[in-house]
Amino acid sequence: MDNHVVIMAGGIGSRFWPMSTPECPKQFIDVMGCGRSLIQLTADRFDGVCPRENMWVVTSEKYIDIVREQLPEIPESNILAEPCARNTAPCIAFACWKIKKKHPRANIVVTPSDALVIDTGEFRRVMEKALRFTDDSSAIVTIGIRPTRPETGYGYIAAANQLQTDKEIYTVDAFKEKPDKETAEKYLAEGNYFWNAGIFVWNVRTITSVMRVYAPGIAQIFDRIFPDFYTEKENETIKKLFPTCESISIDYAVMEKAEAIYVLPASFGWSDLGTWGALRGLLPQDKSGNATVGTDIRLYDSKNCIVHASEEKRVVVQGLDGYIIAEKDNTLLICKLEEEQRIKEFSK
């Protein structure tokens, strides 16, 4: 199989301010304090699924140098610069049409760059299974995460019928928006709802033909760009035509309309790390529920806090309960965890 991985890395990660900024968003930061950024961890977990020369990154023009520096094993021609943000459907089309030019039988995984996976062995098994399923079919597979709580911060995938040929894979009944608490509890109780991780698997013939049906405007633009891929005219053509794409997510453009969509439910310790609270839940905690990233962080009479201050020599916190304390580039945030939805407002 000619396996490829497309890593979407254009987001600005405003909910993780001040650690994440428009100049260096969270996918390029060592969020976990493990010595690897989230985009490096994303590439690492696909080792064995496909070689680095078959990995692709779609990102903003202003992050190209960061991607080159953090992922030097990925060929420069595989780092694709979006002239402007146009959501995930044009981002995915950009990569898939370019891959198709040289790899007309490519089998592709599309993944965000800023999620975390704990069990990388199980992750690889699931990816390889999905790739085998899409390799010689016109199926689109989305990875559904088995929910562990009634989460209101994720979209959901409702599974319908189990396949007779492969008991792990189900047809998709519907994609659901982020629910309220009551609806999320109902989804959890029903047992056939899975978190939408934004990970998609298909062969390149399938996605290009499906987009021609359901997102014809975007498909026509990339059909016009297609002859100029791998030529000296490529950058000029992309800069001219890419901004004319509709700004729309792949879920709205394709997933909610297309037939032959399947879900492969999985459990590999996934989190989209969307909030400071989610990060606190994944980091090791002391007996008082505090999580820290930094060299010398000391907490006294404090509980349920997250402290992220990897650039400071010493941090001392006393008497706080349920706070975010985060420092980066001479900016300090001290905010109640329960008020973290206001961080976008604070960062302006």
Give mean pLDDT, residues 64-74. 97
- DSSP E strand stretches across 113-192: 116-117, 140-145, 156-162, 170-176
Q: What is the pLDDT of residue 108?
A: 98
All domains in the chain, ordered by first residue: 1-269 (3.90.550.10), 274-345 (no CATH)
* pLDDT value at 13 more than 80: no
In 3D, which of 7, 278, 274, 272 has the Cα closest to residue 115? 272
* pLDDT value at 117 more than 90: yes
Q: What is the pLDDT of residue 307?
A: 97
Give mean pLDDT, residues 35-54. 97
Name the pLDDT band for 98 (thresholds 50, 70, 90). very high
Strands 170-176, 331-336: pairing kind: unpaired
Name the pLDDT band for 136 (thresholds 50, 70, 90). confident
For the chain, the average pLDDT equals: 95
Q: Cα 169 to chain center, whole Å? A: 22
pLDDT in tens, 19-29: 999 999 999 99
pTM of the complete model: 0.94
Structural contact between residues 305 and 323, judged by C-beta atoms closer than 8 angstroms: yes
* pLDDT value at 39 more than 80: yes
Give mean pLDDT, residues 173-185. 95
In angstroms, rounded to a whole number, what is the distance separating the alpha carbons of residues 183 and 271? Answer: 20
* pLDDT value at 1 more than 90: no
pLDDT in tens, 265-284: 999 999 988 889 989 988 99
- Please give the DSSP secondary-structure letter assigned to residue 254: I
More confident residue, 67 or 22: 67
Q: What is the pLDDT of residue 49?
A: 97
Q: What is the pLDDT of residue 163?
A: 92
Dihedral angle of Cα 111, 123, 195, 253, to the nearest 10 degrees: 30
Name the pLDDT band for 110 (thresholds 50, 70, 90). very high
